[in-house]
A and B are shown apart, each in its own frame.
Chain A
Amino acid sequence: MDDIKTTVLDYIRKEYLEEDDDRELTETTPLITGGIVDSFSMVSLKRFLERKYAIQIPDADASPEAFDTARSIEALVNRFKK
């Protein structure tokens, strides 16, 4: 079964970290408040999730809080998965 948290963290590593950035990411690593994903780049993550899981996340639900950790993102995805 697809582990959403792992998928999200793999994407974050590829999309947002530079190649020589080897910091550890866990399901509770703060992504937005920790400065890894800035608010301008959040759209990529939202679009990635929508495509990957065939869901629509309304803008009102795509808050920085909801996107702040892999764990909260998993919860968000599960809310909209059919």
Chain B
Amino acid sequence: MSYSEALRASYQQELDAIRSAGLFKEERYIHAPQGAEIEVEFPSGASVKKVINMCANNYLGLSSHPDVIDAARKGLDHRGYGLSSVRFICGTQDIHRELENKLTAFLGTEDTLLFPSCMDANAGVFEAVLNDQDVMISDRLVHASLIDGMRLCKAMTDTYKHSDLAHLEEKLQEHQDKRIRLIITDGVFSMDGDLAKLDAIVDLAEKYNAMVLVDDSHASGFIGKTGRGTHEHCGVMGKIDIITTTLGKALGGASGGCVSGRRELVEMCRQRARPYLFSNTVAPVIVSGALKVLDLISRTTERRDKLEENTTYWRKLLTDAGLDIKAGESPIVPVMLYNAKLAQDFARDLYGEGIYAIGFFHPVVPKGAARIRTQLSAAHDKHHLDKAAAAFTKVGKKYEILGLGKKEIIAKYGQ
């Protein structure tokens, strides 16, 4: 079939529908390395503007750390640019295994396997370890990549209400006839910033003979006293059967992910996970940078401690200003606006004030739960947060929402 004018028109119509529904995504061009302050060209063709970045996953501020860049450069010199191979043909260098071992030690697991991304890890892990005699029981708010991974697996799917452990228990009872029950959750939920109750989940898993998988992408490196993740925070190190996580957020922010956990399960992924088997190895430059990241954060908790201080400070600034934020302790701090248009207008005005943050609305979050998700970084200093809070206050005043709660904001702007 040729790409006819009619076909072109039909795609254009679909794109127009996305745009008119207010769901069209546009990239903003950044003319600088990632950091607390970045130079942004938006919209395309506009002059470059210096703004404070409040929406990166650069939790530990390591994305542009000089030691990480230096290690990556050395990796480039000593191990080359690319490997032109998947891992199991000729794409595994000594440094790949070294990074897997270091991740294993850091996460407190038995073994680790690198993937090109955590999306790939999640796409591959279920199919590798489960079959049609098993059931996957997931929290209803897990990340899209877990959902896609579950879709690729022949095991039965079921869900429990978000963080509702009584509901999870019912599901575990209901599926006692299955060979394996796998409980699936995010460690830190990316949209609300709340933490899974992993201690209670592990208790249920033990009671009902189930395994636990946690995607800790928004936690690895900074949640828990020494930053090992949600399992450290909840006191269940060594009890999570499978952890999937990313190197693309706190751990240097470049790319790459992994499956870490019970030795045999990791080995099953090495043998069977299709994104591992059929996509290219992680580039040496990234592996080298990630090794340095793990060195830095294993040596001191300074950066995660600063992130924690920044989080507490930022949450207080916004609360004192009268903004409606989701309570919690993670550096994901959603400012609730409920109405999609309000979230978009608010974000646009913040940008005018030199603050880069993004409005999220349906279908990324449930209808009537639109928000601006702010994310803290150890790269932020207090003056960044003071300036950002002043901008949030100014824009909040403009829309007359300061001091208002959910009901009042909805009454004013609708859902």
Q: Which of A2-10, A38-46, A64-72 contacts B (4 or more CB under 8 A)?
A: A38-46
| B residues less than 8 Å from A47 (CB atoms) | 174
Cβ-defined contact, B161 with A40, below 8 A: no
User: Is A18's CB within 8 Å of the partner chain B?
Assistant: yes
Cβ-defined contact, A38 with B174, below 8 A: no
Residue of B nearest to A44 (CB): B158
Not counting A41-B159, A44-B159, a sample of 6 additional A-B residue pairs whose C-beta atoms are within 8 angstroms of each other reads A40-B147, A40-B157, A40-B158, A40-B159, A43-B156, A44-B158
- Give the B-binding residues of A (Cβ under 8 A): 18, 38-41, 43-44, 47
Residue of A nearest to B135 (CB): A43
A43 to B157, CA, bound (A): 7
The smallest beta-carbon distance between A33 and chain B, in angstroms, is: 14
User: Is B138's CB within 8 Å of the partner chain A?
Assistant: yes
| A residues less than 8 Å from B138 (CB atoms) | 40
Residue of A nearest to B136 (CB): A40
| B residues less than 8 Å from A41 (CB atoms) | 140, 157-159
Majority secondary structure, B binding face: mixed
Cβ-defined contact, A18 with B159, below 8 A: no
Cβ-defined contact, A38 with B161, below 8 A: no
Cβ-defined contact, A40 with B174, below 8 A: no
8 Å CB contact of B174 from A18, A39, A44: A44
A39 to B148, CA, bound (A): 12
Cβ-defined contact, B150 with A40, below 8 A: yes
A38 to B139, CA, bound (A): 13
| A residues less than 8 Å from B326 (CB atoms) | none
Majority secondary structure, A binding face: loop
A18 to B156, CA, bound (A): 23
User: Is B171's CB within 8 Å of the partner chain A?
Assistant: yes
The smallest beta-carbon distance between A19 and chain B, in angstroms, is: 9
A79 to B67, CA, bound (A): 68
The smallest beta-carbon distance between A50 and chain B, in angstroms, is: 11
| B residues less than 8 Å from A40 (CB atoms) | 138, 147, 150, 157-159
Cβ-defined contact, A43 with B161, below 8 A: no
The smallest beta-carbon distance between A69 and chain B, in angstroms, is: 21
| B residues less than 8 Å from A43 (CB atoms) | 156-158
0/1 per residue, B146-181, Cβ < 8 Å to A? Answer: 010010000011110100000000010010000000
A-B contact pairs, 6 of them (CB 8 A): A18-B161, A40-B158, A41-B140, A41-B158, A43-B157, A47-B174
| B residues less than 8 Å from A18 (CB atoms) | 161
The smallest beta-carbon distance between B390 and chain A, in angstroms, is: 34
* From B147, B161, B171, residue with most partner A Cβ within 10 Å: B161
* From B158, B159, B171, residue with most partner A Cβ within 10 Å: B159
A76 to B28, CA, bound (A): 50
A41 to B158, CA, bound (A): 5
Residue of B nearest to A43 (CB): B158
| A residues less than 8 Å from B150 (CB atoms) | 40
A43 to B161, CA, bound (A): 14
The smallest beta-carbon distance between A14 and chain B, in angstroms, is: 10
A47 to B140, CA, bound (A): 18
The smallest beta-carbon distance between B1 and chain A, in angstroms, is: 29
A13 to B161, CA, bound (A): 12
| A residues less than 8 Å from B157 (CB atoms) | 39-41, 43
A13 to B156, CA, bound (A): 23
Across the A-B interface, the 4 shortest Cβ-Cβ residue pairs = A40-B157, A41-B159, A43-B158, A40-B159
The smallest beta-carbon distance between A16 and chain B, in angstroms, is: 8
Residue of A nearest to B158 (CB): A43
The smallest beta-carbon distance between A28 and chain B, in angstroms, is: 21
Residue of B nearest to A51 (CB): B174
A18 to B158, CA, bound (A): 17
| A residues less than 8 Å from B147 (CB atoms) | 40
The smallest beta-carbon distance between B411 and chain A, in angstroms, is: 16
A18 to B147, CA, bound (A): 20
The smallest beta-carbon distance between B149 and chain A, in angstroms, is: 12
| A residues less than 8 Å from B158 (CB atoms) | 40-41, 43-44
| B residues less than 8 Å from A44 (CB atoms) | 158-159, 171, 174
| B residues less than 8 Å from A38 (CB atoms) | 159
A38 to B158, CA, bound (A): 10
| A residues less than 8 Å from B140 (CB atoms) | 41
The smallest beta-carbon distance between A64 and chain B, in angstroms, is: 14
A39 to B158, CA, bound (A): 9
Residue of B nearest to A42 (CB): B157
The smallest beta-carbon distance between A20 and chain B, in angstroms, is: 10
